[in-house]
């Protein structure tokens, strides 16, 4: 992990926690249902961010270990733990490609929209497999291609409209966007019973401004683009993008976005 990549997540931790988490929660809820973890389970949430899945899981399991490479994200999670008086979530700052837990520790392992950012995904998957007890289940999520998500299609059209030279997103068949690649990488890491399923959620917004804020304030890639742009220029570009969204988005209309949920079991 480069320091730059970590810092990028640090910088958006507040926006992510306040605005993006809400959108991620239903996917985490789905992942917990798929894993079917019970009251005695010990689980790990790798690339937990501000603890979206970890906090949902806490009342339902014995113990949650939550780890993220961004200290600012983990600080947000620690604050939530203190506010909620939660006693069974252990936090750590660390790299998902080199987990510090002994092999065979967990009944279930999760990484929601995390492994997709790892420079070495194979290492990330194999670490998830290593820390599971035999037969334990991993659930990993990653976004489906933008073309399958009307919400993301609209947002990326706004980027193209507002940011000169912003390239139309191209399908990346070598990434986890491609369910065959997803399945192959999980299998190569040692998981058995690997399955990759689509899960869609819909979101509605009261205004184009709300849609813009909720989808961009916690986005590390977009905030990096903003920081690389002169502030006065960005102000105009941002205004153009919000205007573009106002012309196309009817407030209250639900728009869907689709993720892949990959599941696999550690070999028995």
Ligand X SMILES: C[S@@+](CC[C@H](N)C(=O)[O-])C[C@H]1O[C@@H](n2cnc3c(N)ncnc32)[C@H](O)[C@@H]1O
| Interface with ligand X (CB under 6 A) | 1, 9, 24, 28, 47-49, 52, 68-70, 73, 95-97, 112-114, 117-118
Minimum gap (Å) between residue 157 Cβ and ligand X: 21
Cβ neighbors of 79 (< 8 A, separation 6 or more) are none
- Smallest separation, CB 247 to ligand X (Å): 29
CB of 248 to ligand X, least distance (A): 25
User: CA-CA distance, 143 to 127, in Å (whole number)?
Assistant: 21
In terms of CB distance, is 37 or 69 closer to ligand X? 69
In whole angstroms, how close is the CB of 130 to ligand X at the nearest point? Answer: 15
Q: Which is nearer to ligand X, 116 or 237 (CB)?
A: 116
Q: How far is the CB of 156 from ligand X (least distance, A)?
A: 17
CB 12, CB 220: distance < 8 Å? yes
- Cβ–Cβ under 8 Å, residues 159 and 245: no
Q: Considering beta carbons, is residue 53 or 241 the nearer one to ligand X?
A: 53
For residues 2 and 40, which CB has a smaller minimum distance to ligand X in the complex? 2
Beta carbons of 144 and 176 less than 8 angstroms apart? no
Nearer to ligand X, 41 or 261 (CB): 261
Comparison of 7 and 240: residue with beta carbon closer to ligand X: 7
Q: How many whole angstroms separate alpha carbon 157 and alpha carbon 159?
A: 5
3 to each of 64, 178, 203, how far by Cα in Å?
Answer: 27, 28, 33
Which residue number, 47 or 266, has a Cβ lying nearer to ligand X?
47
Least CB distance from residue 104 to ligand X, whole Å? 21
DSSP 3-state of 225: helix
DSSP 118-147: -S-HHHHHHHHHHTEEEEEEEEEEEEPPGG
- What is d(CA 43, CA 62) in angstroms, rounded to the nearest whole number? 8
CB of 174 to ligand X, least distance (A): 18
Per DSSP, the three-state class of 195 is strand
Residue 150: Cβ-neighbour burial (10 angstroms; 0-12, 13-18, 19+): middle
Question: Which residue is closest to ligand X by CB?
Answer: 49
Crossing angle of the two packed helices 179-188 and 121-130, in degrees rounded to 10: 50
């Amino acid at each position: 992990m480069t320091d730059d990549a970590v810092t990028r997540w640090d910088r958006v931790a507040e926006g992510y926690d306040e605005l993006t988490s809400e959108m991620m929660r239903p996917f985490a809820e789905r992942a917990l249902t798929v894993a079917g973890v019970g009251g005695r389970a010990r689980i790990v949430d790798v690339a937990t961010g501000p603890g979206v899945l970890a906090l949902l899981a806490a009342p339902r399991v014995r113990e949650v270990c939550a780890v993220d490479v961004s200290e600012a994200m983990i600080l947000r999670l620690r604050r939530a733990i203190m506010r909620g008086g939660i006693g069974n979530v252990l936090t750590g700052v660390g790299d998902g490609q080199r987990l510090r837990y002994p092999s065979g520790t967990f009944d279930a392992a999760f990484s929601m929209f995390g492994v997709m950012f790892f420079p070495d995904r194979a290492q990330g998957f194999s670490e998830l497999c290593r820390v599971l007890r035999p037969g334990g289940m991993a659930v990993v999520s990653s976004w489906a291609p933008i073309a399958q998500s009307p919400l993301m299609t609209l947002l990326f059209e706004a980027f193209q409209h507002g940011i000169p030279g912003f390239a139309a997103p191209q399908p990346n068949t070598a990434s986890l966007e491609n369910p065959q690649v997803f399945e192959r990488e999980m299998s190569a890491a040692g998981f058995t019973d690997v399955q990759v399923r689509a899960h869609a959620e819909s979101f509605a917004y009261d205004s184009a401004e709300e849609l813009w804020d909720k989808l961009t304030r916690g986005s590390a890639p977009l905030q990096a683009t903003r920081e690389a742009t002169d502030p006065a220029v960005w102000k105009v570009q941002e205004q153009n993008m919000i205007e573009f969204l106002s012309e196309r988005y009817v407030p209250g209309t639900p728009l869907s976005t689709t993720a892949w949920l990959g599941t696999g079991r550690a070999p028995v």
